[in-house]
């Protein structure tokens, strides 16, 4: 028993020495955050302002009332719904964002793994087994118990943690990109919902007008002032309006589902969306907008991407430095004679293993890391060119939709309304035939529908431009 205690004590002392050497050889920089499970964040924590990188996403987060976040966190909304309520639901419950948040948690776990030390190894060796001839002291089976530990050189552990932290930051940027995409799509779908509502209301108004026309025509037929053929035409027009009303109702329900699916709902319970579809504001110039593209997360992420690629280059260079393995242990020498344990002796064993970098100096991985760094620089430039091109296209669509909406609102729709009113009055007085009324009615409906579509394209273009600059249009106007 005394020999066993002595061997365990020697091994314990040896492990303390090895652990001390390992700690010195694998210094961990205090510039980086502590590694632990407490650093793992879920989707709600990721949505907090301190980790939101894009000004537009931060502005949206700040405009959401706190009470709405609590109210709509679990329950499906009913009745009327506003854009702020929709954004709250989407940020909290969007299934795509939930997937990306889990990836961030996985990257946090990789930081933990990157900071861990190699495990020590326990060795048991025996020599001169089954030796029945040598009977001198030290002859016979010798038992060696030792502990070995790999000592990381070249700052590998620190560099792995640095690379893992930057990889985690890239996952955060990926989440930010996806969050901006989801918020932009939410704004577009909400605008489409408002458009579907307005078209449904317009179809109902047209239905009432068609019914009134049928009533007027039927009365004129009863009085003998109009041919029965005119009444037939009026009822055919009414049936066409009924079809358009059915189509508008179907599109309304489809728009509701497209909006609700963004917060993971398949059976929306809300009735209407409340928003300002007819609001038109001044827009900044393309030059002003271009000054803000650096805030676009698709472009801003490349700063972190380049830092991560450089960190991988440093890591691969450190991998070229061989790690040493040190060991320390106890050797049990058998005593002479019949193997009485009291005659045994113990000795201290120590060793060191140093790989010789003759063939593999990690030169292939170092070269690959340099090429990937160069590739990242080219990709950053390509991303900027693509964003500038996309912004130019989106801006032209925005300006065109805005101009079209203004013309339709100030000229086309009022003119069509005036022509329809005049045709209706003239038909009642017998000055116009029924075909003039039908034509005026269809023109009015088409002009209002075009106006609603222009408004929809205008607001959806705003959402796309704000996605590309990562901020509100109002910010660009004041540059």
| Angle ∠(189,191,196) on CA atoms, nearest 5 | 90
- Are residues 260 and 197 part of one domain? yes
- Are residues 337 and 281 part of one domain? no
Predicted local distance difference test score (pLDDT) of residue 342: 63
Q: Which domain holds residue 218?
A: 79-117+152-322+357-469
Q: Does residue 28 surpass a pLDDT of 70?
A: no
pLDDT (mean) for 56-60: 68
Identify the domain boundary among 333, 356, 379.
356
Of 420 and 431, the one with more pLDDT = 420
Q: Tell me if 382 is assigned to some domain.
A: yes
CATH number of residue 294's parent domain: 1.20.1600.10
Q: Of 16-30, 281-295, 397-411, which range is least confident?
A: 16-30
Residue 310 pLDDT level (bands cut at 50, 70, 90)? very high
Q: Does residue 477 surpass a pLDDT of 90?
A: no
pTM recorded for the entire structure: 0.78
Q: Tell me if 310 is assigned to some domain.
A: yes
Predicted local distance difference test score (pLDDT) of residue 421: 87
Of 227 and 294, the one with more pLDDT = 294
Residue 343 pLDDT level (bands cut at 50, 70, 90)? low
pLDDT one-digit tens code per residue, 392-401? 999 999 999 9
Q: Tell me if 405 is assigned to some domain.
A: yes
Predicted local distance difference test score (pLDDT) of residue 9: 55
Predicted local distance difference test score (pLDDT) of residue 160: 95
pLDDT one-digit tens code per residue, 104-159? 999 999 999 999 999 999 988 877 665 555 555 445 667 888 899 999 999 999 99
Q: Tell me if 46 is assigned to some domain.
A: no
- Are residues 217 and 124 part of one domain? no
- Are residues 447 and 337 part of one domain? no
pLDDT (mean) for 356-385: 95
Q: Tell me if 173 is assigned to some domain.
A: yes
Predicted local distance difference test score (pLDDT) of residue 233: 81
Question: In the chain, what percentage of residues exceed pLDDT 70?
Answer: 80
Residue 33 pLDDT level (bands cut at 50, 70, 90)? very low
Total domains in the chain come to: 2
Q: Of 9-18, 297-306, 398-407, which range is least confident?
A: 9-18
Q: Of 227-241, 259-273, 329-343, which range is least confident?
A: 329-343
- Are residues 217 and 123 part of one domain? no
pLDDT (mean) for 261-283: 90
Predicted local distance difference test score (pLDDT) of residue 101: 84
Residue 44 pLDDT level (bands cut at 50, 70, 90)? very low
Of 190 and 127, the one with more pLDDT = 190
Residue 415 pLDDT level (bands cut at 50, 70, 90)? very high
- Are residues 456 and 313 part of one domain? yes
Residue 162 pLDDT level (bands cut at 50, 70, 90)? very high
pLDDT one-digit tens code per residue, 70-115? 444 447 788 899 998 899 889 888 888 888 888 899 999 999 999 9
- Are residues 456 and 314 part of one domain? yes
- Are residues 160 and 142 part of one domain? no
Predicted local distance difference test score (pLDDT) of residue 219: 80
Question: In the chain, what percentage of residues exceed pLDDT 90?
Answer: 53
Residue 39 pLDDT level (bands cut at 50, 70, 90)? very low
Q: Tell me if 141 is assigned to some domain.
A: yes
Q: Tell me if 182 is assigned to some domain.
A: yes
Q: Does residue 41 surpass a pLDDT of 80?
A: no
- Are residues 395 and 282 part of one domain? yes
- Are residues 307 and 446 part of one domain? yes
pLDDT one-digit tens code per residue, 295-305? 999 999 999 99
Of the ranges 16-30, 101-115, 263-277, 391-405, the best mean pLDDT one: 391-405
- Are residues 307 and 219 part of one domain? yes
pLDDT (mean) for 230-235: 81
- Are residues 251 and 133 part of one domain? no
Q: Tell me if 24 is assigned to some domain.
A: no
Q: Does residue 275 surpass a pLDDT of 70?
A: yes
How confident is the prediction for the chain on average, in pLDDT?
Answer: 83
pLDDT (mean) for 319-339: 82
Q: Of 44-48, 202-206, 349-353, which range is least confident?
A: 44-48
Predicted local distance difference test score (pLDDT) of residue 143: 81
């Amino acid at each position: 028993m005394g020999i066993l205690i002595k061997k365990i004590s020697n091994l314990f002392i040896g492990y303390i020495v090895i652990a001390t050497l390992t700690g010195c050889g694998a210094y961990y920089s205090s510039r980086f955050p502590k590694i632990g499970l407490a650093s793992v964040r879920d989707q709600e924590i990721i949505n907090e302002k301190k980790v939101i990188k894009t000004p537009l996403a931060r502005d949206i987060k700040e405009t959401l009332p706190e009470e709405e976040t609590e109210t709509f966190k679990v329950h499906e909304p009913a009745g009327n719904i506003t854009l702020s309520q929709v954004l709250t639901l989407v940020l909290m419950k969007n299934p795509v964002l939930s997937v990306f948040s889990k990836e961030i948690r996985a990257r946090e776990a990789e930081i933990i793994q990157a900071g861990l030390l190699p495990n020590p190894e326990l060795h048991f060796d025996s020599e001169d087994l089954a030796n029945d001839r040598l009977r001198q002291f030290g002859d016979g089976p010798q038992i060696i118990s030792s502990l070995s530990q790999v000592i990381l050189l070249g700052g590998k552990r620190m560099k792995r943690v640095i690379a893992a932290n930057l990889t985690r930051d890239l996952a955060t940027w990926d989440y930010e990109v996806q969050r901006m995409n989801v918020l932009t799509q939410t704004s577009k779908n909400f605008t489409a919902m408002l458009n579907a509502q307005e078209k449904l209301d317009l179809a109902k108004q047209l239905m009432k007008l068609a019914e009134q026309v049928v009533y007027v025509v039927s009365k004129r037929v009863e009085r003998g002032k109009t041919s029965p053929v005119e009444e037939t035409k009026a009822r055919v027009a009414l049936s066409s309006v009924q079809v358009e009303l059915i189509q508008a109702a179907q599109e309304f329900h489809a728009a509701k589902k497209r909006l609700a699916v963004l917060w993971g709902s398949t059976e929306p319970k809300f009735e209407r969306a409340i928003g300002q579809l007819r609001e038109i504001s001044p827009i900044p110039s393309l030059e002003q907008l271009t000054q803000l593209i650096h805030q676009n997360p698709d472009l801003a992420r490349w700063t972190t991407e380049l830092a991560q690629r450089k960190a991988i280059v440093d890591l691969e260079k450190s991998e070229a430095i061989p790690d040493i393995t040190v060991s320390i242990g106890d050797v049990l020498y058998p005593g002479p004679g019949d193997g009485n344990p009291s005659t045994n002796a113990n000795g201290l064993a120590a060793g060191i293993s140093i790989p010789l970098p003759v063939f593999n100096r990690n030169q292939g991985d170092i070269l690959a890391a340099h090429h990937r760094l160069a590739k990242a620089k080219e990709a950053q430039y390509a991303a900027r060119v693509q964003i500038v091109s996309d912004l130019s296209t989106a801006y032209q669509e925005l300006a065109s939709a805005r101009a079209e909406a203004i013309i339709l609102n100030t000229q086309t729709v009022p003119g069509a309304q005036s022509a329809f009113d005049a045709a209706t009055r003239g038909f009642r007085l017998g000055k116009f035939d029924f075909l003039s009324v039908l034509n005026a009615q269809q023109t009015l409906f088409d002009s209002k529908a075009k106006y609603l579509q222009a408004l929809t394209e205008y607001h959806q273009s705003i959402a796309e431009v704000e996605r590309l600059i990562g901020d509100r249009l109002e910010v660009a106007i004041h540059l």
